[in-house]
A and B are shown apart, each in its own frame.
Chain A
Amino acid sequence: MALTAIFFYLFATLALASGAMVIVAKNPVHAVLFLILTFFNAAGLFILLGAEFLAMLLIIVYVGAVAVLFLFVVMMLDVDFAELRAGFIKNAPVGLLVGGVVLAELVLLVVARVAAPATPATIAAPIPQGTTNTEALGQILYTKYVYFFQGAGLVLLVAMVGAIVLTLRHKEGVKRQSIADQVARGPATAVKMVKVASGASAIPDAPAKR
């Protein structure tokens, strides 16, 4: 248990510190890199809870794909810091409101823990005995709530199709490669035999050579 506690405090401290650095860092790319470090520490905390499947998915999906795209976009942005700072006072009330709501929820969570001490135990041990975490998640997602899962999938599909429809446009006059056409090309379609009269051009309409 002592080792678990040490690792818990290590991951928690690093997560908090790097989370703070996300806001404080002046360079947006550094901020994203700190965000990635925060994800990592969250994954570490998941492992300590016994949710190793979730931890690995967090790294594969968020760190391996989503954060890469984040970084991708942020690197290409030309961020004007003076402009950003000018907006700070204007947006501060909204930010404070959101922050206040989150803080209130966190306080409520602590209050609930104190009021009903039995709840944390059930929260911390959601996996039925005798199955692995992957199986337990599969049972819930693909068996118990399969229709909700499919529904969520459909919503995502519609969103994806929508994004493509909105952004895809075929420019006129751009040459595109058609692999199928290239592969299907054979002597019959690519070569034309022309009988050339002496002194004439092989191209029918070309002016004759002198």
Chain B
Amino acid sequence: MSSETITMLWEYGLWLAVTVGLSLLVLVGLLLCVAFLLLMDRKVWAAVQMRRGPNVVGPFGLLQSFADLLKFVLKEAVIPAGADKGVFLLAPLATATCALAAWAVIPMNKDGWGTWVISDLNVGVLYLLAISSLGVYGVIMGGWASNSKYPFMGSLRSAAQMISYEVSLGFVVITVLLLVGSLNLATVVTAQTHGVGTWLGLPASALDWHWVPLLPMFVVFFISSLAETNRPPFDLVEAESELVAGFMVEYSSTPYLLFMLGEYVAITTMCALATILFLGGWLPPLDIWPLNAVPGIFWFAAKVVFMFFMFAMAKAMVPRYRYDQLMRLGWKVFLPLSLVMVVAVAGVLQYLRSV
């Protein structure tokens, strides 16, 4: 081997090692966060209903998710006799993998070392949309492979629902991209250092973030992401009053755990996406001393947790939609609204450019 080849191999090896290390770091951090977010979800829900929620395992029930993990892993995985075994097991794997893969492009901070992200894609937003649209496959495959009626009904509902809301979600993202002029997620965040607030002469603050000029779109995005992740009030996929548990009926043990994990990771991804697109990512709410000295990752995490809290509150407070109402909301309300906003934002930008 020539020395050139060795250098090349060394470079590839180093690059590979760094990427694998970063991925593992994000993966472990994310899974830990999801474990506690799941607990938070249950605690918030309990608090709204004036219950205590899980409070037995560990102090304040903090270890509840880990106890659940052990329980799921140690149980027997039951595969129904008529099920298509390969697809049946592939479905939860696909759900969990797709949900976790989305975090490869989510930028969490930017400092002297550069952007804190595994892969700084210049089509990051599209990658996220692509991955989140793949989430539907786990549901469809699981519903079909179970060879049972309730799961199949659930998966059919889900397919229609997720495709419908993806459209308006895409248009909402387009309005943000029009303002930014880039598909790179880190650029989307840095573009929010100046906006309405600085235009008024204030220092860089929360008023510069995209939620101010695009407030209606932020609301549409939030509701669409509830529907996209099959969260209440749009959890018709697993409506327990009609379909028992929808596509998950036949699942038990680790495959069920993977579905659950995929769902919560997808929710966290949507929270992170909302944070990046509308709430200024890692930027502090006011760019003055004690606040901007805090590492950006803290602000990022705080905003994601805030968004997750909103998700949990929606689950606790809003009754479930009926299926036809869900479809009406997606196609007849959100789609025209977001289309009009795309045209309006493009028009305003063109006008401002010509002035």
Find chain A residues with CB under 8 A from B163 CB.
64-65, 68-69
- Chain B 135-172 interface 0/1 with A at a Cβ cutoff of 8 Å (1 = within): 01100110010000000100010010001001000100
Find chain B residues with CB under 8 A from A57 CB.
126
Question: Cβ of A75 and Cβ of B324 under 8 Å apart?
Answer: no
B183 interfacial by beta-carbon distance below 8 Å:
yes
Contacting residues of chain A (22-42) with chain B, CB-CB under 8 angstroms: 27, 29-30, 33, 36
Contacting residues of chain A (59-101) with chain B, CB-CB under 8 angstroms: 59-60, 63-65, 68-69, 71-72, 75
B130 interfacial by beta-carbon distance below 8 Å:
yes
Chain A residue at minimum C-beta to C-beta distance from B156: A72
Chain A residue at minimum C-beta to C-beta distance from B158: A68
Find chain B residues with CB under 8 A from A2 CB.
8, 12
Find chain B residues with CB under 8 A from A65 CB.
133, 163, 166
Q: B134: which of A30, A59, A69 is its contact (CB, 8 Å)?
A: A59
| Min CB gap A161→B, angstroms | 15
Q: B123: which of A29, A36, A56 is its contact (CB, 8 Å)?
A: A56
B30 interfacial by beta-carbon distance below 8 Å:
no
Find chain A residues with CB under 8 A from B144 CB.
29, 71, 75
Main secondary structure of the interface of A (DSSP, over half): helix
Measured between alpha carbons, how far is A56 from B170 in the docked complex, in Å? 13
| Min CB gap A157→B, angstroms | 13
A13 interfacial by beta-carbon distance below 8 Å:
no
CB within 8 Å for A177 and B325 given contacts A29-B144, A64-B166, A71-B140:
yes
Find chain A residues with CB under 8 A from B159 CB.
68-69, 71-72
Find chain A residues with CB under 8 A from B130 CB.
56, 59-60, 63-64
A8 interfacial by beta-carbon distance below 8 Å:
no
Contacting residues of chain A (125-178) with chain B, CB-CB under 8 angstroms: 132-134, 177
Measured between alpha carbons, how far is A179 from B328 in the docked complex, in Å? 10
Question: Cβ of B133 and Cβ of A3 under 8 Å apart?
Answer: no
Measured between alpha carbons, how far is A184 from B159 in the docked complex, in Å? 33
Interface positions of A (Cβ within 8 A of B): 2-3, 27, 29-30, 33, 36, 52-53, 56-57, 59-60, 63-65, 68-69, 71-72, 75, 132-134, 177, 179
Question: Cβ of B133 and Cβ of A59 under 8 Å apart?
Answer: yes
Taking A29-B87, A60-B129, A64-B163 as known contacts, 6 extra A-B pairs with beta carbons closer than 8 A to each other, sorted by chain A number, are: A2-B8, A2-B12, A29-B84, A56-B126, A71-B140, A71-B144
Question: Cβ of B134 and Cβ of A64 under 8 Å apart?
Answer: yes
Question: Cβ of B129 and Cβ of A36 under 8 Å apart?
Answer: no
Find chain B residues with CB under 8 A from A59 CB.
130, 133-134
Find chain A residues with CB under 8 A from B12 CB.
2-3
* A–B Cβ pairs within 8 angstroms, 15 of them: A2-B12, A27-B84, A33-B87, A52-B123, A57-B126, A60-B130, A60-B133, A60-B170, A63-B130, A63-B134, A64-B166, A65-B133, A69-B159, A72-B140, A75-B144
Measured between alpha carbons, how far is A33 from B137 in the docked complex, in Å? 9
Measured between alpha carbons, how far is A75 from B324 in the docked complex, in Å? 22
Question: Cβ of B121 and Cβ of A52 under 8 Å apart?
Answer: yes
Question: Cβ of A132 and Cβ of B87 under 8 Å apart?
Answer: no
| Min CB gap A27→B, angstroms | 8
B122 interfacial by beta-carbon distance below 8 Å:
yes
Measured between alpha carbons, how far is A89 from B353 in the docked complex, in Å? 64
| Min CB gap B90→A, angstroms | 8
| Min CB gap A16→B, angstroms | 21
Find chain B residues with CB under 8 A from A134 CB.
123, 183
Q: A36: which of B126, B137, B170 is its contact (CB, 8 Å)?
A: B137
| Min CB gap A80→B, angstroms | 18
Chain A residue at minimum C-beta to C-beta distance from B5: A2
Chain B residue at minimum C-beta to C-beta distance from A132: B122
Measured between alpha carbons, how far is A60 from B129 in the docked complex, in Å? 7
Question: Cβ of B133 and Cβ of A64 under 8 Å apart?
Answer: yes
| Min CB gap A123→B, angstroms | 22
| Min CB gap A79→B, angstroms | 14
Q: B122: which of A52, A64, A72, A179 is its contact (CB, 8 Å)?
A: A52
Chain A residue at minimum C-beta to C-beta distance from B126: A56
Measured between alpha carbons, how far is A137 from B104 in the docked complex, in Å? 25
Measured between alpha carbons, how far is A36 from B328 in the docked complex, in Å? 29
Question: Cβ of A177 and Cβ of B324 under 8 Å apart?
Answer: yes
Find chain B residues with CB under 8 A from A64 CB.
129-130, 133-134, 136, 163, 166
| Min CB gap A22→B, angstroms | 15
Q: B133: which of A33, A63, A179 is its contact (CB, 8 Å)?
A: A63
Find chain A residues with CB under 8 A from B8 CB.
2
B127 interfacial by beta-carbon distance below 8 Å:
yes
CB within 8 Å for A53 and B137 given contacts A30-B87, A33-B87:
no
| Min CB gap B284→A, angstroms | 30
- Chain B 22-59 interface 0/1 with A at a Cβ cutoff of 8 Å (1 = within): 00000000000000000000000000000000000000
| Min CB gap A5→B, angstroms | 12
Question: Cβ of A60 and Cβ of B324 under 8 Å apart?
Answer: no
Measured between alpha carbons, how far is A29 from B152 in the docked complex, in Å? 14
Find chain A residues with CB under 8 A from B121 CB.
52
| Min CB gap B238→A, angstroms | 18
Find chain B residues with CB under 8 A from A56 CB.
123, 126-127, 129-130
Measured between alpha carbons, how far is A179 from B133 in the docked complex, in Å? 30
